[in-house]
Amino acid sequence: MGEKRIIRFVPAAVAVLAIGYAASIAPVSSQSLTDRFKSLFGGRSDAPPPTIVEPGGPAAEIDCPPVAIRAGASTYAVAAPGKQAVGNDVRFQATITKTARECVQNGAEITAHIGIQGRVIAGPSGAPPSIEIPMRVAVVQGGVGEKVIATKAYRTTVTMTSEEGSEPFTLVADDLVYPLPSANDADKYIFYIGFDPQALAPEPKARKRK
């Protein structure tokens, strides 16, 4: 089976509502995946979302779930030590502004590439010069009993250099693999993204065998 790709992006607010859209087909450049996502993110937010299909195969779409922000995980605020992240005690706050996605089918598996763009804003308490942003991406089968198919944590570092106290960030989660869903279940799948502070915790050390 030939490899098939499709990329879409929508503003995060639209992604939350999971609004469907019609997309136009355009050729793919030789840019890397990260560069292609950044190029999409750099476009006008009110422009119609493009669909990009790799050449060398039929222009047939594969099921690529919509992207939504998990409830309660749309912002990431950090306070001064021993304080609550409210009011003048906030050091910085990060938000998600846009998303992009690409699904690549290889036999019975799909590799998902999720692009996330956001912004970090310094708070009244003063942001540190370097900030680690923790994110989590999951593919979930919705329905009466929601089922997590695959999930993974990611991090990206933001350097606060702007005098305005605001810096953008871009993260590309490019290694989330999950089984190809059946035709009956494909429409129930959704990519959930959000900030996950637990992703900053050190990974547990493997136990040594006796």
Tell me what pLDDT residue 154 has: 95
Residue ranges with strand state E in the chain: 4-11, 24-26, 50-52, 67-69, 75-79, 90-106, 109-122, 130-141, 147-159, 166-179, 189-195
- pLDDT for 113-137, tens place per residue? 999 999 999 999 889 999 999 999 9
pTM for the predicted model, two decimal places: 0.70
- Confidence check: pLDDT of 153 > 90: yes
Contact yes or no for 28/40 (Cβ under 8 A): no
| DSSP structure string for 136-175 | EEEEEE-SSS-EEEEEEEEEEEEE---TTSEEEEEEEEEE
Residue 61 has pLDDT above 60, yes or no: no
Joined tokens for residue 100: 């992009």
Domain ranges of the chain: 4-198
- Distance from the first to the final alpha carbon of the chain: 46
**Confidence (pLDDT) at 198:** 86
For residue 78, which of 59, 95, 63 has the smallest C-alpha distance? 95
pLDDT band per the 50, 70, 90 thresholds, residue 26:
very low
In tens, the pLDDT along 29-54 reads: 334 555 656 555 554 333 333 333 33
Please state, in angstroms and as integers, the Cα–Cα distance from residue 132 to each residue in 37, 39, 125, 165, following that order: 21, 23, 17, 16
Cα(77)–Cα(148) distance, integer angstroms: 26
Mean pLDDT of 166-185: 92
